[in-house]
Amino acid sequence: MFDCVFDQLALHSAVQINVALVGHLQQVQQHVGNFIGNVLFLIWIQMCRLRLLRGHPLEDFGQLSGLHHQCGAQILGRVKRLPMALSREFTQGKLQCLEVHGVSLMGSISASADCLASAPQLASRHLASLHNLPMPRPTQLLHPPRPPAPTRAAATVLLLRDTPEGIEVLMTRRSAKASFVPGAFVFPGGGIDAADACCHNQCQRRATQTDSTLTQAVAAIRESFEELGVLLARHADGRWASQAEIDGMDRTSDFAAQCAARGLTLAASDVFVLARWITDRDLPKRFDVPFLVARMPPQQTPVADETEQFEPVWVRPADALARHQAGTFFMIFPTIRTLQQLQAFATVDAVLRACAVNEEPLFTSCPRAGLLAGREVRFMEHELPFSELALVCPDGQNVHPLDWQTETPVPLLKNVLRLTAPNPGVMTGPGTNSYLVGDASTGFIAIDPGPADEAHLGKLWRAAGGDIRLIVCTHSHPDHAPGARPLQAMCTPKPPILGLPSAATARANSVFVPDKTLQNKELLVLVPSGLEANLSYKNGHTLQVIHTPGHAANHLCLLLLEDGLLFSGDHILSGSTTVIDPPDGDMNNYLNSLDLLSAACLEHQIKFILPAHGHVMGGPNDEALAAIARLKRHRLQREAKVLLAMQAQPTGTLDDWLALAYDDVPQRMWPVAKRSLMAHVARLEALSG
């Protein structure tokens, strides 16, 4: 065996062990000892890796044990000082996990120089976290970076009035020659001038208004005056500026001085923040704009300046939206969405009251654009496709198709492909998402092959270039696991099917026995072929297993550690709610697993969640954590409703409680909801002892 190893050493010597390799070895040398020891160590790792990648079942590693013991024993005594859980386990002789440790230890070599200064409690964290690398890795992004244009400060104001038919808002048409959104119907507004910050002492001001919100209010008041001849200013006795006073002023010259000359104070305290819009990342001219709101002063008539603005019009939000829909009233996305929000209010007072709660906008948005049927469509942060666009096109590249289709795999990163199975339905949403993790140099791990649909599996196999190394099932429901065996049969050599065996509680259509049972926290590693490339873990793809019973007893999730992704199976879904179907489903386990996922996201800087049904969730900050917290809150709120229903009708049937606790859910979903209701009831009964 050693001879064979040294043959390899000869092959990889000289040129192959190049600068990068020597660099890594030197980093390690001080911790491991002599150079030969290092080389043996690397070769040993390489042997493990090769055996793993050739699909040897775990037992086969026994044949290498002599080598492990010889090389390993020689090296382990020195390696154990590395702050790695891996090395700790080695010292405990846990050779059954070699397939994992062999490759991961290689990562520890390249990471060791930076890591060694870290505290030992970091031991259980993966290298990527230790390095605090950006997630996902920039090298895996599909599109070249394109920093968005910087934003400029501006302000706009919705002037409102009450009518018997509801609120009306003042809008005007922008000049056809305007550099920004020509011809669009907008609210008056514009860029913030330096002078706007200079007349704070001419303002009525709320105690809570900061200098910057005051400046924004001044800019909005000035723009309303210049563009429409509307003046939000009062006399000392509280009277609003009159039309005659406005008619006597020059809308093109110093606004503040003219107000001061007439004893007018700017009514900034009557201007509130409704929303904040930041222009989409893909647009060449970008603004950061508070959408302010104020009641229209009485007895004033808007008159457009006929240069920047034309056609002032009072319009109900619903009418403006209908006319836009009909193609006769062009508006841009933020205007449309703001009007939609405004529809929720019956009176101007109601709007102002909502905005007066604090100085924060009711909502903030920097929309993202994707393609639907080839056409550009924009989304706000709370809308389902937004997070997917944030992952695939972080700089706002407007190129990502969002249509659900089952023909072509959708690349999400260079190392993550999604292929949706043709099984859409009430329970499966757009269909089951099968994922491929990896690349041509590493081979692929297939996650959730889906139903045994030959055409779907064929597409998945082709997308991986036939090079599928491992098949993982998040759980054994019939829309997830039955494709595993036929997919395995397509591959040469046959990749092992990994997962958790179904419990005795599983329904007949969910019985499942994997080739190998995945341990909690186990790592599945793909590394490129070729010794040189192997030396950088940055080129590899490491999935960590997390057992997450709840939706199914044999459910697991996977973390892609280098890119901060969570493959959530059915535990977390986008656009639908996970069903907990007892007895295989268990609500208490489900909630506990959510906590586990939350902790794992924190530990591993998980940014995005890739569910088995629906679009990508999460975002570059803490959106993934927030999504999990929201999900848990939703469950507990539902449980509170179930408890109320049970208390209201102590002798009621499940159907009685269902009608009360799920009164907000369409009746066609009740048969499914009843399963989750049973899970809640079981948990409540267990909690009450």
Positions in the binding site for Zn ion (CB under 5 A): 477, 570
When the beta carbons of 245 and 479 are compared against Zn ion, the nearer one is 479
When the beta carbons of 29 and 577 are compared against Zn ion, the nearer one is 577
When the beta carbons of 313 and 579 are compared against Zn ion, the nearer one is 579
When the beta carbons of 51 and 477 are compared against Zn ion, the nearer one is 477
Quick one: tokens of 232?
A: 């939000």
How much helix, strand and coil, in percent to the nearest 5, is found in the chain? 40, 20, 40
**CB of residue 508 to Zn ion, shortest distance in Å:** 15
When the beta carbons of 326 and 504 are compared against Zn ion, the nearer one is 504
**CB of residue 470 to Zn ion, shortest distance in Å:** 20
Q: Which residue is nearest to Zn ion (CB)?
A: 477
When the beta carbons of 169 and 552 are compared against Zn ion, the nearer one is 552
**CB of residue 613 to Zn ion, shortest distance in Å:** 9
Virtual torsion, Cα 571, 572, 574, 575, nearest 10 deg:
70
583 SS3 class: coil
**CB of residue 479 to Zn ion, shortest distance in Å:** 7
When the beta carbons of 174 and 477 are compared against Zn ion, the nearer one is 477
Tokens 């270039």, located at residue: 465
When the beta carbons of 469 and 477 are compared against Zn ion, the nearer one is 477
Q: Between 2-11 and 35-53, two packed helices, what is the crossing angle to 10 degrees? A: 100
327 SS3 class: coil
When the beta carbons of 44 and 590 are compared against Zn ion, the nearer one is 590
DSSP designation for 240: B
Query: Please, are residues 292 and 232 in contact by the beta-carbon 8 Å criterion?
Result: no
Question: Within a 10 A sphere around the Cβ of 654, how many other Cβ atoms?
Answer: 13
Tokens 């986008």, located at residue: 574
The CA-to-CA distance between both ends of the chain, in Å, stands at 61
CA-CA-CA-CA torsion sign (431, 437, 440, 443): negative
**CB of residue 446 to Zn ion, shortest distance in Å:** 17
Say how far apart CA 386 and CA 370 lie, in whole Å.
9
**CB of residue 481 to Zn ion, shortest distance in Å:** 9
Backbone angles phi, psi at 117, to 5 degrees: -70, -20
Dump strand ranges (E) for 103-221: 151-163, 166-174, 185-186, 189-191
Question: Which residues, at least 6 apart from 91, have a Cβ–Cβ distance to it below 8 Å?
Answer: 76, 80
Tokens 């244009």, located at residue: 149
**CB of residue 205 to Zn ion, shortest distance in Å:** 57
When the beta carbons of 49 and 480 are compared against Zn ion, the nearer one is 480
Question: Within a 10 A sphere around the Cβ of 190, how many other Cβ atoms?
Answer: 20
When the beta carbons of 305 and 448 are compared against Zn ion, the nearer one is 448
Say how far apart CA 252 and CA 552 lie, in whole Å.
69
**CB of residue 532 to Zn ion, shortest distance in Å:** 42
**CB of residue 579 to Zn ion, shortest distance in Å:** 8
SS (H, E, C) 422-462: CCCECCCECCCEEEEEEECCCEEEEECCCCCCHHHHHHHHH
**CB of residue 569 to Zn ion, shortest distance in Å:** 7
Query: Please, are residues 546 and 559 in contact by the beta-carbon 8 Å criterion?
Result: yes
**CB of residue 552 to Zn ion, shortest distance in Å:** 6
Q: Residue 178: exposed, middle, or buried by beta-carbon count in 10 A (0-12, 13-18, 19+)?
A: middle
